[in-house]
Chain A
Amino acid sequence: DTAVSQTPKYLVTQMGNDKSIKCEQNLGHDTMYWYKQDSKKFLKIMFSYNNKELIINETVPNRFSPKSPDKAHLNLHINSLELGDSAVYFCASSHRAGGPTTDTQYFGPGTRLTVL
């Protein structure tokens, strides 16, 4: 069974469009994340939710809006897509976000977004 799944795997779209990426985890984790990996392979956190509550919001344009309907799902909606949004977007989850140590983060397979 897939632990962290994302859909779609590939997304090719025109500038200006609005698109969504979905993420689901079946690990019973409390915390979920969205990361962006750019063309230089730099992986950077965008958002983190703990039990449906937003706890990390990095300096991300407000065209990006995460939504967590329940703690097993964290979706990412992107409005008015720009060329610079082209990247691989990874969802991840972990058992808990707090405390002196971090439990392992499990990543989804990634969504490769190409904006034309």
Chain B
Amino acid sequence: RKEVEQDPGPFNVPEGATVAFNCTYSNSASQSFFWYRQDCRKEPKLLMSVYSSGNEDGRFTAQLNRASQYISLLIRDSKLSDSATYLCVVNLNYGGATNKLIFGTGTLLAVQP
């Protein structure tokens, strides 16, 4: 079983749609959680951290369910510029100076005009 699992998509949605991505992780010791965005042939960039209470950043809402080991990202009012691959990321901390980010394989979003 992969440590972080995501539906690879693609999700093809029209502009203005609401789309949700889900992610599950296998290691209950995971301590912090993120969504990164990766445009085609570019580097990943942090989109937002995910907090236990849920958090929102403009059109983006992230949720975490530690009991179910489940993370979600909701994008409202999709824009063409949202087209990218969304990577679910968890952090495993081994104590001291050792953190390790584990990346999911990503979910591809294509927003259509």
List residues of A whose CB falls within 8 A of some B CB: 31, 40-45, 48, 50, 53, 55-56, 90, 96-102, 104-105, 107-110
Contact = CB atoms under 8 A, between A and B. Distances in A.
Contacts of B59: none
B32 interface: yes
Prevailing SS type, chain A contact patch? loop
Contact of A107 (B45, B85, B97, B98): B45
Given A44-B103, A102-B91, A102-B101, A109 B32 contact: no
B100 interface: yes
A97 B99 contact: yes
Nearest to A109: B43
A97 B46 CA distance: 16
Interface centre among B42, B45, B91, B99 (most CB of A within 10 A): B99
B21 to A, nearest CB: 15
Interface centre among B41, B45, B100 (most CB of A within 10 A): B100
Interface of B: 31-32, 41-46, 85, 87, 91, 93, 95-103, 105-106
A5 to B, nearest CB: 11
Contacts of B85: 41
A97 to B, nearest CB: 5
Contact of B99 (A41, A42, A98): A98
Given A41-B106, A99-B93, 5 more contacts: A41-B105, A42-B105, A45-B102, A97-B99, A110-B42
